[in-house]
Amino acid sequence: MATLKFVNSVWQSFRATSGLEPRLLNNLRVTAARPGTVNFELNIEKDHTNRLNILHGGTIASMVDLGGSLAVASRGLYSTGVSTDLNVTYLSSGGKVGDTIRAEVSCDKFGKTLAYTSIKFLNDKDQVFARGSHTKYVALAFKDPQNIVEQLKSSNESS
């Protein structure tokens, strides 16, 4: 539970201070979190679509970016670093207005300088429609006094 609460606090910080996320992804909901993994969902609204009235690739790319940050947060970093690389592979349409998409993002490697994350997106039929990866420079993020890296490491080792 500590991980989910912490990840949600980081998400709330994004919503309160960022320009993009509260406008584009305000209705995104973190549904689960444990050290190294975060699940979230998004109800597709008109603002998330392209001129074909399907989920816009830019919305997906933004969720790869945010998802990577939340996966880093799930390892205890409040300040989640900066992006060095982001990749998206679009496999099919993610859906249309009214559909709900789900994502699972993992922090595959968490080092002292870089964190590597990967994400998969599923549509209403549980089909993977996109996947992505995100690399973050996290060296300076370890200095944030709001971090809980050691607490999560301790609770993960004891479970």
Q: Is residue 75 part of a domain?
A: yes
CATH number at residue 134: 3.10.129.10
CB 65 within 8 Å of CB 80: no
Domain carrying residue 107: 2-152
Note the pLDDT tens digit of each residue in 1-53. Answer: 699 999 999 999 999 999 999 999 999 999 999 999 999 999 999 999 999 99
Q: Is residue 36 part of a domain?
A: yes
Name the nearest CA neighbour of 82 among 123, 52, 114, 40: 114
Note the pLDDT tens digit of each residue in 65-93. Answer: 999 999 999 999 999 999 999 999 999 99
Residue 78: alpha-carbon gap to chain centroid: 13
Please tell me the pTM assigned to this model: 0.94
Q: Is residue 158 part of a domain?
A: no
pLDDT for residue 152: 78
Residue 21 phi, psi (nearest 5): -55, -45
**Which amino acid, one-letter code, is at 51?**
R
d(CA 120, CA 122): 7
Q: Is 4 helix (H, G, I), strand (E, B) or coil?
A: helix
Residue 54 corresponds to which tokens in the numbers above? 């399907």
Provide the number of structural domains found in the chain. 1
Q: Is residue 157 part of a domain?
A: no
Residue 31 corresponds to which tokens in the numbers above? 């549904």
